[in-house]
Homo-oligomer: A and B are copies of this chain.
Amino acid sequence: MDKLDIVKLGGELLESSENMKTALSSFHALSGHKILVHGGGSQASALCEKLGIEAKMHNGRRITDDDTLEVAVMVYAGLANKTVVAGLQKLGTNAIGLTGADANLIQADKRVVQDIDYGWAGDIRSVNTANLKALLSIGLSPVFCAITHDQNGQLLNTNADTIAATVASALAADYEVHLHYCFGHAGVLKDIKDENSVIPTIQVGEVDELHHKGIIADGMLPKLHNGVMALQHGVQAVTIEKPETVHNEQALKTTVIG
Contacts and interface: CB of A to CB of B under 8 A. Distances in A.
A96 B102 contact: yes
Contact of A90 (B87, B135, B152): B152
B74 A78 contact: yes
A101 B78 contact: no
A153 B104 contact: no
B99 A103 contact: no
Contacts of A97: 77, 99, 101-102
Nearest to A99: B82
* Chain copies in complex: 2
A238 interface: no
A177 interface: no
Contact of A101 (B82, B103, B147): B82
Interface residues of A, number: 40
B77 A70 contact: no
Contacts of A89: 101, 104, 149, 151, 153
Interface string A120-143: 000000000001001100101000
Contact of A79 (B74, B104, B151): B74
A94 interface: yes
Given A79-B74, A94-B104, A86 B134 contact: no
| Interface residues of chain A: helix, strand, loop or mixed (majority) | helix
Interface in A47-95: 50-51, 70, 73-79, 81-83, 85-87, 89-90, 94-95
B85 A94 contact: no
A155 interface: yes
Contacts of A197: none
Contact of A131 (B50, B74, B94): B94
Contact of A73 (B79, B87, B98, B149): B79
Interface in A20-62: 50-51
A203 interface: no
Given A86-B153, A96-B103, 14 more contacts: A51-B51, A73-B78, A73-B79, A73-B82, A76-B78, A77-B77, A78-B78, A82-B102, A85-B99, A86-B155, A90-B152, A94-B103, A96-B98, A97-B99
27 contacts: A70-B79, A74-B74, A75-B78, A77-B77, A77-B81, A77-B82, A77-B97, A78-B81, A83-B155, A86-B149, A86-B153, A86-B154, A86-B155, A89-B149, A89-B151, A90-B152, A94-B103, A94-B104, A94-B131, A95-B101, A95-B102, A96-B98, A96-B103, A97-B99, A97-B102, A131-B138, A134-B138
